[in-house]
Amino acid sequence: MIYLDANATEPVRPAALAAAAEAMGAVGNPASVHAAGRAARRRLEAAREAVAACFGATAAGVVFTSGGTEADAWAVAALGRGRRLIVGATEHDAVRAAAPEAAILPVDAQGVADLAALRGLLAAGPPALVCLMLANNETGTLQPVAEAARLCRAAGARLHVDAVQAAGRIRLDFAALGADSLALSSHKLGGPAGAGALLLGPDAAQIAPLIAGGGQERGRRGGTPPLPAIAGFAAAAQEAGMADAARLAPLRDAVEQAAVACGALVLGAGAPRLPNTTCLALPGVRAETQVIALDLLGVQVSAGAACSSGKVARSHVLAAMGAGDLAGEAIRVSLPWTATAADVDGFAEAYRQVAARLSRAAA
Ligand code: PLP
């Protein structure tokens, strides 16, 4: 089996597994005052310090959540309250579903947000919350978030950044970006599912809770924190990084060369991208047909937008890029931190077979 679907979820990193297992073996609720509770509290705060240090936040500005979806939904609900919402056209459904009435910020053919359009939208009305993702989950395209943050500040708008796919794959410094909030997800960087974080800048630190509960996380997020998932998240964040990026970029390029030689087009290739992600369109061949055919050959990739029902919708990301019919004919190959040159060779061989058979059938 060749697993090339890291953007769906990364394989768990050994350090994350060890940290999660250790935390799971220890008793204690961080809210309890006795010794076991205090030990749990120390574990929680050490994880918070580690996540803050990895991503350029302050410890006080790290609030643990259940994952990226909660962090996005919370930021939109709390920081967008009473504000106009402006959302990038290629945002993840975690943001889009939380902001169904939002004005859409268009992207160019490479999937990069149009900053001139952002300027116009910001000037057009009262203070806004803008949601702009750092890296797209389908194409890997990186957005000019620091520039967007400057425009937002000048216009009195807030900026929320979904960095779920970027964290651990490119350098990420929340303070330097200048955004008000930023969403992270543990399982996208090699930690366990069930944890994530919302990073908050100084102006957003007093955010209203989405889940009030028992006042945990300084009253910002109720619920007993899942310490094993959080400890694993912190360990994964510390292990993920630039060494993976340097190793994965040439492997990703080799995947693209093999696919292009079979008639594929690389969508978003003209923009700065994540080192592990490529979006490959095979004209005339439906994305789900490609995914199934590759799976039968032992290669696991995904179609642009797989929803939880397992059905594949036409990608809103690729449609926003003006990809036309190709929006339903593109697969996403996303290399996990475990990927090897042998995986790339296996993909290339399977893709050659699939493209030869399905392209002929489509012709
Ligand atoms: N944002 C982006 C860009 C994603 O790719 C995902 C998951 O695919 C999410 C948010 C949601 O994250 P989680 O699975 O942790 O809820």
Residue 258 belongs to domain with CATH number: 3.90.1150.10
Final residue in a domain of this structure, among 186, 214, 239: 239
pLDDT the model gives residue 312: 60
| Residue 165 Cβ < 6 Å to ligand 1 | yes
| Cα(141) to centroid(ligand 1), Å | 15
Structure-token pair, residue 112? 């990069």
Same domain membership, residue 330 and residue 260: yes
Q: Give the Cα separation of 173 and 55 in Å (integer).
A: 5
CA Rg, the chain, in Å?
Answer: 21
Q: How many structural domains are present in the chain? A: 2
CATH number reported for the structural domain that contains residue 116 in this entry:
3.40.640.10
Same domain membership, residue 112 and residue 80: yes
| Residue 235 Cβ < 6 Å to ligand 1 | no
Final residue in a domain of this structure, among 216, 239, 262: 239
Same domain membership, residue 340 and residue 248: yes
The pick from 64, 69, 189 for probing ligand 1's pocket by mutation, whose C-beta has the most ligand atoms within 8 angstroms, reads 69
Same domain membership, residue 106 and residue 212: yes
Q: Give the Cα separation of 291 and 350 in Å (integer).
A: 11
**CA 357 to mean position of chain CA atoms:** 33
C-alpha distances in angstroms, 154 versus 122, 146, 148, 157, 179? 9, 13, 10, 8, 12
| Residue 133 Cβ < 6 Å to ligand 1 | yes
73-113: pLDDT as tens digits: 999 999 999 999 999 999 999 999 999 999 999 999 999 99
pTM of the predicted model as reported, rounded to 2 decimal places: 0.97
| Residue 137 Cβ < 6 Å to ligand 1 | yes
Same domain membership, residue 228 and residue 84: yes
Q: Is 152 a catalytic residue?
A: no
Same domain membership, residue 310 and residue 189: no
Give me the domain span that covers residue 76. 14-239
Final residue in a domain of this structure, among 239, 255, 286: 239
Widest pairwise Cα distance in the chain: 71
The pick from 76, 141, 185 for probing ligand 1's pocket by mutation, whose C-beta has the most ligand atoms within 8 angstroms, reads 185
Same domain membership, residue 151 and residue 194: yes
Residue 242 has pLDDT above 80, yes or no: no
Same domain membership, residue 210 and residue 151: yes
Of all atoms in ligand 1, which is nearest to the CA of residue 185?
Answer: 15
Residue 308 has pLDDT above 50, yes or no: no
C-alpha distances in angstroms, 210 versus 21, 199, 309? 29, 15, 26
Structure-token pair, residue 272? 């700065």
Residue 41 has pLDDT above 50, yes or no: yes
Same domain membership, residue 292 and residue 198: no
| Residue 143 Cβ < 6 Å to ligand 1 | no
Query: Phi and psi dihedrals of 142, rounded to 5?
Result: -95, 140
